[in-house]
Amino acid sequence: MAFQKVTEIIKEGPSYAYLTDLASAQLGGRVLYATDDFFAEKENLLKAGRGIFITDKYTDRGKWMDGWESRRKRTPGHDWAVIQLATPGKIMGFDIDTNFFLGNHPPYASVEAVYFNDADPVKDWNDIEWKVILAKSPLDAGSRNFYECDGNEIYTHVRLHIYPDGGVARFRVYGVVYKNWDIVSQDQAVDLAAAVHGGKALACNDMFFSDMGNLVMPNRGANMGDGWETKRNRTLGNRDWVILKVAIPGTVERIIVDTCHFKGNYPDSCSIEACLSNDDQAVIDGKVQWQTLLPVQKLSADTEHEYIKEIVENKGYSHVRLNIFPDGGISRLRIFGKKIV
């Protein structure tokens, strides 16, 4: 079957906003501390989406807001929150999103960062030698506020400062996952495609209902929206596809295709191809030789499908292409194997 051209996807924001969100709660990021979250919980900062607004929803403390919101400060100082990144990484930029925070957004924000081997002993976050990676910068109300971060250091924690108080809907920390592969034995099998290891979805022909990046997230999907789902296609013999770059080139020993929560909309079948390339764009453009890794397999609804003996090649690969026939949803794709470098 001829390679299908990538469907153009309309994107918003700078190029670094399509890197991994290192702070994402879905990936494993956590808000460890906030000076004040009287109106809206600090944990909302790292949730998926931009946040919603419900006109008539109130709590016993005031208007319900989908974000982190501190009370109006009547004393000197400002509010801040400490976030543990899901994985160590090189930070390339931020999105400080004030969506729906209009009369109550902070006028300014800044970001500091630090690397910890072990943060458990920390008693006072003010005693840490933080490094400023975003100077005090203006924020617009109800907006995605993008700021670039220039540096090569690896960090594990960040501290978001807001001046003096107010609400932020979401906080994104975009960057590149760092994993020390030197301590991973060549005999140790790992999920090479996992986002926490540095795997990433690069391109697909369709993601109408949900994002391709969900395929490599930790855990099983939380619901039907937590997966990759294409629209219904009426073209005879249609194939939808997604290309993943694995964290490190490796041999493949076990594959899991999980249709968790997809019941009336799972694909009829799937196949997987693979290639070895150091050029992502050539892979996306189809200028590589794809090899069959997993021949066409029938799929079932809401099922974790494991393949071992069905794998027909065991060479070293850098990218995989999951094909689904004719369309539908896949929750997770796991590519277990061993590094070759």
What is the DSSP annotation of 271-314? Answer: EEEEE--S-HHHHHTT-S--EEEEEEEE--TT-EEEESTT----
pTM equals: 0.92
Confidence of residue 151 (pLDDT cuts 50, 70, 90): confident
Architecture (CATH level 2) of domain 15-177: Sandwich (2.60)
pLDDT digits (tens, 9 = 90+) for 237-263: 999 999 999 999 999 999 999 999 999
Does residue 121 register a pLDDT over 90?
Answer: no
Hey, what amino acid is at 283? V
Give the residue with greater pLDDT, 12 vs 81.
81
pLDDT in tens, 210-245: 999 999 999 999 999 999 999 999 999 999 999 999
Domain range summary for the chain, segments of one domain joined by +? 15-177, 183-339
Residues of the chain with pLDDT > 90, as a percent, come to 92
- Asked if 87 contacts 177 with a C-beta cutoff of 8 angstroms, the reply is yes
- The structure tokens listed for 332 are 């997770």
Region 150-175: what's the mean pLDDT? Answer: 97
Residues 250, 315: contact at Cβ < 8 Å? no
Supply the pLDDT for residue 293: 97
Per the prediction, the chain carries an average pLDDT of: 94
d(CA 50, CA 65): 12
109 is written with which tokens?
Answer: 């924000």
Rounded CA gap, 120 and 139, in Å? Answer: 32
Can you tell me the distance from the alpha carbon of 151 to that of 266, in angstroms, rounded to the nearest whole number? 43
> Would you call 166 exposed, middle or buried from its count of C-beta atoms within 10 A (0-12, 13-18, 19+)?
buried
Which residues pair with residue 100 across a beta bridge? Answer: none
Q: How confident is the model at residue 11 (pLDDT cuts 50, 70, 90)?
A: low
Cβ proximity of 27 and 21 under 8 Å? yes
- Averaged pLDDT, 103-119: 95
pLDDT at 1 over 50: no
Q: What is the pLDDT of residue 313?
A: 80
How many C-beta neighbours within 10 Å does residue 29 have? Answer: 21
Tokens 């150091």, located at residue: 278
**Nearest in space to 155 (alpha carbons), one of 94, 86, 83, 90:** 90
CA–CA dist 274, 313 (Å, integer): 9
Q: Which CATH superfamily is domain 183-339 in?
A: Galactose-binding domain-like (2.60.120.260)
Distance of alpha carbon 9 from alpha carbon 138, whole angstroms = 30
| Residue that has been written with the tokens 């997809």 in this structure | 262
Helix (H, G, I), strand (E, B) or coil at 196: helix
Decide if 15-177 and 183-339 have a common fold. yes
